[in-house]
Amino acid sequence: MVTEITLDNIEQLAIGSSFLGTGGEDPYLGSLLCREAIAKYGPVKVLAVDELKDEDNVFIAAALGAPTVMIEKLFSIEDQHRAVETLERFIGRKASAIISAEIGGCNSMMPVAYAAMRGLPIVDGDGMGRAFPALQMTSFNIEGVACAPMTIADEHGNSVLYQTTTGLKAEELSRPVAAAMGASVCMSCYPMTGAEARRAAIPKTLSGAIEIGEAISRSGDPRSPIDRLVAALRAHEYYKDAAVIFRGKITGLERDTSKGWVFGNCTISAMNGAGSAELKFQNENLLVTVDGKLRCVVPDLVTIVDAETAHAIPTERLAYGQRVAVVACSAPPLLTTARALDVVGPQCFGLDEQYAPVATLIGDLL
């Protein structure tokens, strides 16, 4: 169990979060923001989900937008503060702890930087245990916590607060504003009491991301980075049904940035020409087939990693000719219940495929 986030484990968090991001925003820029914040304000205390008191006020710090833009447009803690402050003012309570909405990708980073600035602890947990492209796709929502009131803020001093009847409506009404604000904004949503967060958050995902990042980047271990990654996943409570399901090079890539998201497909062909894998993504990877056979589908995780370093390659960094491996693993159990699949299952992304646990789809590799 990690007890604080320091300058020494930020990089591991970034590497692990990038894997859990399944193609979502690259945490690299966010990790620079984190480094600066920790250097200025000091390390951030990590609080286990079950250490939260009933009366705690748990606030989210997050980015909303299209990855295509996020890799170019920088975030600032001040914009994040405006989003949280507007929400605090409206609900009349001050944050006593910060939590990540999404441990995968760059949304693992801003909460740490923001917690440092506020001198508040960060909760070891999140609302996805991975990354998803839409606001309503959280364990908070699955467990009945309201997304709204929710706020977004841009870099010009503007903020917008939503009071909506559903998380889906918050998503619908905030996406066009985020687009008008430049397709990348800071936000806060799902304000929770400690009691609510204990019930609705997915625990231990912050420390889980650090463990994964540590395994990938560990020196002095004779195994390859990809083998260390798979071993770390298999040792984890949630991600344990894990395997490399394909290796090859990228031979096809389609990306379309519209309505504030990036949609697309990636084709990976075996180096010896024997077979290919096909991935679909909406910000994050949604599913992968190998030679036409389904091998993993949301909410289970599928990430494209560099064949040598095992570092995850975000959707935006995919390029023709890259040598890669495709790693699939199981999602936290909270995401695969019948109730959860109504919120984060394949049909929520307009896919025709039915959900099947990755353990059944890649049983031959486990």
Applying CB under 8 A, among 31, 68, 86, 136 the residue interacting with its own copies is: 86
In this chain, which of 140, 162, 261, 349 binds its own copies, going by CB under 8 A?
A: 162
Is 325 near its own copies (CB under 8 A)?
no
Among 4, 73, 76, 177, binds its own copies (CB under 8 A): 177
Task: Specify the stretch interacting with its own copies by CB under 8 A; choose among 85-93, 100-108, 123-131, 233-241.
Answer: 85-93
SS (H, E, C) 75-88: CCHHHHHHHHHHHH
Task: Indicate the length of the chain as a whole number.
Answer: 366
3-6 CB contacts, 8 Å cutoff, 24+ apart: 3/45, 3/46, 4/43, 4/44, 4/45, 4/46, 5/34, 5/38, 5/43, 5/44, 5/46, 5/112, 5/122, 5/206, 6/38, 6/43
Least separation in angstroms between CB 183 and its own copies: 13
Of residues 29, 9, 18, 36, the one with CA closest to residue 218: 9
- Among candidates 84, 91, 93, which has minimal Cα distance to 60? 84
Of 51, 155, 172, 353, which lies in the binding site for its own copies, with binding defined by CB under 8 A?
Answer: 172
Using the rule CB under 8 A, is 89 a contact of its own copies? Answer: yes
Q: How many CB atoms lie within 10 A of CB 28?
A: 17
Tokens 């992968």 correspond to what residue? 288
Q: Which run of H or E residues covers position 230?
A: helix 225-234
Give yes or no for residue 93 binding its own copies (CB under 8 A): no
231 near its own copies, rule: CB under 8 A? no
| Position 265 contacts its own copies (CB under 8 A) | no
Comparing CB distances to its own copies, the nearer of 170 and 331 is: 170
Which residues have C-beta within 8 Å of that of residue 51, sequence separation ≥ 6?
A: none
**Binding map of its own copies across residues 104-143, x = CB under 8 A, - = no contact:** ----------------------------------------
Per rule CB under 8 A, is residue 179 in the interface with its own copies? Answer: yes
Under rule CB under 8 A, residue 259 binds its own copies: no
Q: Which residues bind its own copies (CB under 8 A)?
A: 86, 89-90, 156-165, 169, 172-173, 176-177, 179-181
